[in-house]
């Protein structure tokens, strides 16, 4: 590739001084979600952290484990002292021999980059580190995917949050117009919404709208299931509540993918939401003044009174994410006595743009999520 220097990040290859023309890479896909795609994650920003004390400094602030010899990128979280979520993040260590000191890039939602930078500076104290917000034109993150085993961008980081979800590619530098990356863009570039839709079908929350800072809990947000927490690690901000929750083994709510459907339609039976491009495009989660509570429905289709079974977080058409009470909305048991869920139960949400519409909600449990939940929490449930 023209003007490119490649640095291996373990399983990830970061392309430095790479090259693309954002304006011409604007192909879109209409209809259903594409099986193959690549898109720039314009909603994410990078912070560069370097310095002699950088590994130790970052180790005390994140939920995953980082050592001075770590070279593989990983997913993690920043929490407050109460164990509540602040930011979900990807950490990209840079093992380039050209680096005079330890360096990494921290990927976070673009609307929270300044807040995270202030957070890091506040904890700096006497640590010998350097912090810099990477300019949007100087670096960015891309996502690619292809259903099946093949990867359309060899060398990208397999997204650790869920198997088969796709890859992340860290790119920076001036643009040029040649090379294999340009060829992939010309062939497979899609709109960003398809990345978000793919996230929803996998059940992967991301960013402050889906993981609200200072209120969301890491396990309810699936940070543990998405490989973002090392429970063997100690001495980081937010550790106490996180470890206590792990030892008690009780996580009663989790974010799950959901499918919206009308009362005139049959209850969906699949484990993965089926996107309907004809679904009303108005977003029931877009108006914060409207209730997003999900409640069980009576036999006549009316919502039952009492506490909500879940809360709608976001959606694209008829596919979205919801924070669900597991024993009320699914067959997952988190206690010995079990919950109230029974096969055939239906749940509804008030649709703000059409309050009288009969909009129903079906939570889904992807195979990867069910397997990891059972693997990580089965022992605690048995005790």
- pTM, two decimals, is 0.87
Contacts of 307 (CB under 8 A, 6+ apart): none
In this predicted structure, the answer to whether residue 296 has a pLDDT above a threshold of 90 is: yes
Query: What DSSP letter does each residue of 265-321 carry, written as one string?
Result: SPPP--SS----TTS----TTS-TTS--EEEEBPTTSPBPSSS-SEEEEEEETTEEE
Among residues of the chain, what percentage have pLDDT more than 90? 58
pLDDT digits 0-9 by tens, 43-79: 999 999 999 999 999 999 999 999 878 889 999 999 9
Positive or negative torsion for Cα 151, 8, 53, 100? negative
Q: Extract the tokens encoding 184.
A: 């992939």
- In the DSSP assignment, the letter for residue 282 is -
Confidence band for 13, pLDDT divided at 50, 70 and 90: very low
The percentage of residues in the chain with a pLDDT greater than 70, rounded to a whole number, is: 80
pLDDT of residue 355: 58
Residue pLDDT, tens place only, 314-348: 999 999 999 999 999 999 988 877 788 999 999 99
User: For residue 248, what pLDDT is reported?
Assistant: 84
Judge whether residue 12 has pLDDT over 50.
Answer: no
**Region(s) of the chain under CATH 3.30.1360.120:** 5-202
pLDDT in tens, 235-245: 999 999 999 99
State both tokens at 142.
């891309």
110, HSE (Cβ side, Cα atoms, 13 Å): 12
pLDDT mean across residues, the chain: 84
- The answer on pLDDT for 312 being more than 90 is yes
The pLDDT value recorded for residue 294 is: 95
Instruction: Inform me whether the pLDDT recorded for 106 exceeds 90.
Output: yes
Instruction: Give, rounded to a whole angstrom, the gap between the first and last alpha carbons of the chain.
Output: 56
Q: How confident is the model at residue 137 (pLDDT cuts 50, 70, 90)?
A: confident
More confident residue, 131 or 170: 131
Instruction: Examine the pLDDT at 283 and tell me if it is beyond 70.
Output: no
In which band, very low, low, confident or very high, does the pLDDT at 23 lie, cut at 50, 70 and 90?
very low
Q: What is the pLDDT of residue 165?
A: 94
Whether 100 shows a pLDDT value over 50: the answer reads yes
Q: Is the four-CA dihedral 370, 372, 377, 379 of positive or negative sign?
A: positive
Higher-confidence residue of 244 and 181: namely 244
Inter-residue contact 267 to 259 (CB < 8 Å)? no
Cα gap 95→161, rounded to integer Å: 23
| Distance of alpha carbon 310 from alpha carbon 340, whole angstroms | 14
- How many other C-beta atoms lie within 10 A of the C-beta of residue 300? 5
What pLDDT does residue 149 have? 64
Rounded alpha-carbon distances, angstroms, from residue 337 to 85, 253, 274, 328, 334: 30, 16, 33, 13, 9
Can you tell me the distance from the alpha carbon of 380 to that of 383, in angstroms, rounded to the nearest whole number? 5
Q: Which residues pair with 49 in a beta bridge?
A: 104, 131
Burial 312-332 (b: 16+ CB within 10 A, else e): bbbbbbbbbbbbbbbbbbbeb
Q: What is the pLDDT of residue 338?
A: 79
DSSP 212: -
pLDDT number for residue 354 = 57
Q: Which tops the pLDDT comparison, 97 or 122?
A: 122
Most confident of 9-13, 63-67, 111-115, 313-317: 111-115
Q: What pLDDT is attached to residue 271? A: 82
**Residue 190, pLDDT above cutoff 80:** yes
pLDDT at 103 over 90: yes
97: confidence class by pLDDT, cuts 50, 70, 90: low
Residues 6+ apart with CB under 8 A from 306: 295
Which architecture does CATH list for 5-202?
A: 2-Layer Sandwich (3.30)
Tokens of 360: 């129903």
6/131: higher pLDDT: 131
Backbone angles phi, psi at 54, to 5 degrees: -60, -45
**Confidence label for 250 from pLDDT (cuts 50, 70 and 90):** confident
Burial category of 110 from C-beta neighbours within 10 Å (exposed 0-12, middle 13-18, buried 19 and up): middle
Q: What angle do CA 170, 173, 174 make, to 5 degrees?
A: 140
pLDDT for position 66: 94
Query: What per-residue string of b and e applies to 198-231 under the rule 16 or more CB within 10 Å gives b?
Result: bbbbbbbbbbbebbebeebbbbbbbbbbbbbbbe
Q: Which has the minimum average pLDDT: 60-74, 162-176, 239-253?
A: 162-176
Give helix 239-248 / helix 367-382 axis angle, nearest 10°.
80
């Amino acid at each position: 590739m023209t003007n490119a220097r490649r640095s291996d990040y373990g399983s990830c290859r970061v392309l430095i001084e790479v090259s693309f023309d954002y304006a011409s890479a604007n192909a879109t896909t209409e209809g259903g979600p594409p099986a193959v795609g690549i898109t720039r994650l314009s909603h994410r920003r990078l912070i560069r952290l370097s310095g002699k004390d950088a590994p130790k400094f970052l180790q005390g602030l994140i939920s995953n484990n980082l050592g001075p010899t770590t070279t593989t990128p990983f997913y993690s979280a920043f929490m407050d002292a109460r164990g509540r979520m602040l930011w979900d993040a990807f950490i990209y260590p840079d093992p380039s021999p050209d680096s005079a000191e330890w360096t990494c890039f921290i990927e976070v939602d673009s609307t929270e980059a300044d807040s995270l930078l202030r957070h890091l500076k506040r904890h700096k104290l006497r640590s010998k580190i350097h912090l810099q917000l990477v300019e949007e034109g100087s670096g960015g993150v891309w996502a690619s995917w292809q259903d099946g085993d093949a990867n359309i961008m060899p060398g990208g980081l397999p997204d650790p949050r869920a198997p088969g979800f796709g890859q992340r590619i860290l790119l920076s530098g001036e643009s040029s117009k040649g090379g294999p990356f340009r060829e992939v863009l010309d062939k497979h570039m899609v709109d960003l919404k398809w990345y978000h839709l793919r996230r929803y079908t996998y059940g992967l929350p991301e960013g402050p709208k889906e993981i609200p800072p200072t209120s969301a809990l890491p396990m309810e947000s699936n940070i543990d299931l998405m490989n973002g927490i090392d429970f063997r690690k100690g001495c980081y901000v937010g550790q106490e509540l996180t470890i206590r929750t792990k030892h008690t083994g009780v996580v009663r709510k989790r974010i799950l993918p959901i499918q919206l459907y009308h009362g005139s339609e049959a209850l969906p039976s699949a484990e993965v939401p089926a996107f309907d491009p004809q679904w009303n495009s108005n977003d029931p989660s877009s108006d914060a003044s409207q209730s997003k509570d999900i409640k069980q429905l009576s036999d006549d289709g009316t919502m039952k009174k009492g506490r909500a079974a879940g809360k709608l977080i976001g959606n694209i058409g008829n596919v979205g994410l919801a924070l669900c009470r597991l024993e009320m909305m699914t067959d997952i048991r988190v206690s010995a006595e079990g919950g109230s869920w029974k096969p055939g139960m239906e749940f509804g949400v008030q649709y703000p743009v059409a309050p009288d519409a009969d909009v129903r909600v079906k939570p889904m449990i992807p195979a990867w999520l069910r397997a990891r939940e059972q693997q990580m929490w089965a022992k605690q449930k048995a005790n």
